[in-house]
Amino acid sequence: MINPLAKEQSPSHREHLELRRRQAKWHTGSPPPLSDPDDSSETVPSGFDYALTEQDTIIALMGPSGAGKSSFINKLMGQSVAYVNDSVESCTQEVQAFVCLHPDGSERKIVLIDTPGFNDSGRTDYEVLKIITDWLVKTYRRRIKLTGIIQLYSIADARMRGTPLRNLKMFEELCGSEVLANVILTTTFWSQVTPDVGSQREEQLKCDFWAEMISHGCKPPVGMP
C-alpha cells in the first residue's frame, strides 16, 4: 500500500544513504569481505602498475580541485610525475599512485595516492567520493590499509564556504572520527599570500572549520611551510 504522506527522497539524501551503505562495507576497522554481491568489478585497484604490499607506506592525498595535490606529489618526488594545470576542472580524473623509496635508506616504498579533487566543474562531489571509496574498497579487499591521509586546502582561498565546507564534512564522513588520528591537515599556496594573512586564515581553519576533526585526533598544520 502506498503511503500518501511519504515524501520522495531528494537526490542529495539518496546520495547520502548510498554513501553510508558503501561506508558500512569497509569502515569497520578491518578489511571488508572478499566478495561483494553489489560489485562484480575487478578486485585489483586501478591507477598504476605497481603491486601494493602490506609493507608499503601508503598515503592518500585528498582535497578540493586546485588545492595542489599533484604539485605536492611532484615536490615530494623531486620531478614532474603528476599532471598539473590551472583549470577549475580537476586534472586528476582517476585514482593514481606514485612510488618512491623511503628516506630512511631502507628498501621500503612510499606510495603517494593522488585522488580526484572535490568541487570539480565536470562532476559532482558524490561522483568523486564514489571513485575514492571504490578504490579504497578494492584495496582493503587485498588486506592493504592506508597508512594515513593528507588533506590539502589552499590558504589562498579567502573563505571556506558553500561547496568547500560541504566537502570537508563529506571528508569527515568518509574517514570516520576513529581514524582521524592518521589524518594530517595541510595548507598550500602560501606564496600567494603574506605570512600574516596566511597565519590568520590557518588559525581560523584550526579554530572553526577543522575544530571538530582536530578534537578527534586529526593533526593540524604546525606553521607556515
Asked whether residue 29 is domain-assigned, the answer is: no
Range among 30-34, 35-39, 127-131, 181-185 with highest mean pLDDT value = 181-185
d(CA 159, CA 40): 42
Asked whether residue 83 is domain-assigned, the answer is: yes
pLDDT-based confidence at 28, cuts 50/70/90? very low
Q: Residue ranges of the alpha helices (H) in 48-123?
A: 69-77
Tell me how many domains the chain contains: 1
> What nine digits make up the cell of 160?
571556506
Asked whether residue 64 is domain-assigned, the answer is: yes
Asked whether residue 112 is domain-assigned, the answer is: yes
Asked whether residue 32 is domain-assigned, the answer is: no
pLDDT digits (tens, 9 = 90+) for 199-224: 999 998 888 888 888 887 888 886 55
Asked whether residue 12 is domain-assigned, the answer is: no
- The answer to whether residues 115 and 61 touch, using CB atoms and an 8 Å cutoff, is yes
Asked whether residue 209 is domain-assigned, the answer is: yes
What's 102's domain CATH number? 3.40.50.300
CA quadruple 153, 83, 90, 24: dihedral sign: negative
Nearest Cα to Cα of residue 46 among 109, 134, 146, 174: 134
Residue labelled with grid coordinates 590557518: 202
Domain that includes residue 190, residue range: 47-215
pLDDT digits (tens, 9 = 90+) for 89-138: 444 567 888 888 888 877 788 888 888 877 666 778 778 778 887 887 78
For residue 15, what pLDDT is reported?
Answer: 53
pTM of the model: 0.69
